[in-house]
Amino acid sequence: MTADRKRRAREKFLLGGIVVKAGLSTTDRAFLLGGLTELARVISGSAEHRRLRDIGEEAFKAPSHNPSSPHMTEDAGWR
């Protein structure tokens, strides 16, 4: 396996981990892709971008997972 292929595989693994961490692993894939497509439209540096990033930062720090909460269990090393 080439170094570039390993890097891409690791990136996909980490991105998949974020989906699991968010509690979305059993979500309809079309819904998930639609949500990610909408997120891609948020302008970097905008108030909405900062708000969503802040939510993500807090979710990475959260110590435990509650299915009714957006907070996750894994450590912040997934960033």
**pLDDT tens track of the chain, all 79 residues?**
899 999 999 999 999 999 988 989 999 999 999 999 999 999 999 999 999 999 999 998 886 554 554 444 444 344 4
pTM of whole model > 0.85?
A: no
Please answer whether residues 63 and 73 qualify as being in contact, where contact means their C-beta atoms are separated by less than 8 angstroms: yes
CA dihedral 71, 73, 78, 79 (to 10 degrees): 30
> Which token pair is 65?
């997972």
pLDDT digits (tens, 9 = 90+) for 25-45: 999 999 999 999 999 999 999
How far apart (Å, rounded) are the C-alpha atoms in residues 75 and 8? 22
Say which amino acid occupies 17. Answer: G
Please answer whether residues 76 and 61 qualify as being in contact, where contact means their C-beta atoms are separated by less than 8 angstroms: yes
Predicted local distance difference test score (pLDDT) of residue 1: 80
